[in-house]
Amino acid sequence: HAKAAIKDVVTTLEPGTLEGAFATELVEEFAAIERLAAAGKALCAQRVAKSGAWRRHGDRSPARWMARTTGTSVGHALGVLETAESIGELPATETALRSGELSQVQAQEIVSAAAVSPASEPGLLAAAKTETVSELKEHCAKIKAAASSDELDRYEAIRVRRRLRHFRDPDGAWHLDALLTPDAGAVVMAALEPYTERVFQAARAQGRRESHQAYAADALVELAEHTRACDDQPTSCTPKAMVQVVVDHRALLRGSLEDGESCEVPGIGPIPVATARAWATDAYLSALLTDGSDIKAVCHLGRTIPSRLRTAIEMRDRTCVVPGCDVGRHLEIDHIKPVTVGGPTRLDNLARLCRWHHYLKTHRGYRLSGGPGSWCFEHPGEAHPGRPPDTETGPGSARSP
């Protein structure tokens, strides 16, 4: 009966005849109904998943069954099912979801954070009443980061799930979907931002007004076209990318976080301190150094390698310098002694590493020493890990960051 009643209301609805205040009330009522419907849908879908009833329809997984049945994406359906599975361990959150106080998105964020920090549940439920979804997501991300005993293990868990995929929908539109580590996402967004601004200014000059998302899509295409035209040769017309990091000064010097300290990219989320230190050697990094809650300094930690020095390194290190590694593509220039601890930008302190070995040095504690003909790459008390199983360098290969 409820479904029929709602259908009758929507079928006969004439938005143009409504007073603004009454239309506002209706939106709030429909939103409340939507939250309750989402809760019921999630709880029932969990039962379908557990019972195996989804197999009767020939679907490959519960998430695919739910996506097809509800007209959503597999990723969204998977999030709903995972939330419904875990919410039973959080009675207060389950009650809020069942009563329509939380949307499915809010519940999913709270469950993900409270699962690793149960004590945060009451505060998150209170925050959900006043914070926007984006603010709540950032709030939950910080809680999850603080609850992790090892920031590098957390980073690694994200890194191994990295992906980039694309597909065309039935209308022929091309979709791009990516899952990256926070630092990789920050680099992508920093590279895209100046192009987005350029597209925005051009649109304004032409009298066009579209959404920021539309300008960002145009900027991505422009970035790709510019990169292809340059053929990997930097040009003076390339917009400068800037990555901003807020990090405690002592943590940056120490190389790790302690209680009460943070290291994050605004709008992206927490990143390992090791990543911020590595960025100082190969990216133009704007760092806001803090001492607790007070701003200590603002500095640019990036070090631009002069073209002549870069050429000398490329000629000297034709492949990754790690003994036994012959990767010669997508090499990255590394400061053997990091800039953040006084390492100079000169030939005897620079070496080219493949992405895998650069990752190990930056995030897993490996050390590079020696020089041409006598390079040594090791981790204290640990054997050299060798190459990962995904060593292909061709298009679409799953490489390290």
pLDDT tens, per residue, the chain with 401 residues: 788 888 888 999 998 998 999 999 999 999 999 999 999 999 999 999 999 999 887 888 999 999 999 998 888 899 999 999 999 999 999 999 999 999 999 999 999 999 888 999 999 999 999 888 888 988 888 888 777 667 777 788 888 999 998 888 888 888 999 999 988 888 898 888 888 888 988 888 888 889 889 999 999 988 887 765 555 554 445 555 567 777 887 888 788 877 777 788 876 778 888 888 777 655 445 555 555 545 444 455 555 677 777 877 887 888 899 988 888 877 888 989 887 777 888 888 899 999 889 988 888 888 999 988 889 998 766 544 444 434 333 333 333 33
How confident is the model at residue 229, as a pLDDT?
57
In a 3-state reduction of DSSP, which class is residue 339? Answer: helix
What is the rounded distance in angstroms from the CA atom of residue 363 to the CA atom of residue 341?
16
Separation CA 314–CA 316 (nearest Å):
5
> What is the structure's pLDDT at 288?
58
Q: Report the pLDDT value the prediction gives residue 381, as an integer from 0 to 100.
A: 60
**Is 285 buried (19+), middle (13-18) or exposed (0-12) by CB count in 10 A?**
buried
- Tell me, what's the pLDDT at 128? 93
Structure tokens at 41: 């849908």
Q: Which is nearest to 314 in space by CA: 338, 361, 350?
A: 350
Token reading at 33:
């109904």
User: Per-residue b/e over 286-296, b at no fewer than 16 CB within 10 Å?
Assistant: ebebbeeeeee
pLDDT of residue 395: 34
Length of the chain counted residue by residue: 401
Question: Using CA atoms, how far apart are residues 128 and 103, in angstroms rounded to an integer?
Answer: 9
Distance between CA 350 and CA 335 in Å, rounded? 5
Largest Cα–Cα distance in the chain? 81
| pLDDT at residue number 387 | 44
Q: Which residues pair with 298 in a beta bridge?
A: 288
pLDDT tens digits for 107-133?
999 999 998 889 999 999 999 998 888
> How many CA atoms within 13 Å lie on the side-chain side of 139?
20
Q: What is the pLDDT of residue 242?
A: 63
Give residues with Cβ within 8 angstroms of 321, minimum separation 6.
351, 352, 353, 368, 372, 375, 377
Backbone phi, psi, residue 101, to 5°: -80, -25
Question: What are residue 246's DSSP bridge partners?
Answer: 264, 288
Provide the pLDDT for residue 96.
Answer: 95
Q: Which of 317, 310, 289, 312 is nearest to 301 (CA)?
A: 289
- Residue-range domain boundaries for the chain: 2-147, 163-168+176-230, 243-300, 307-378
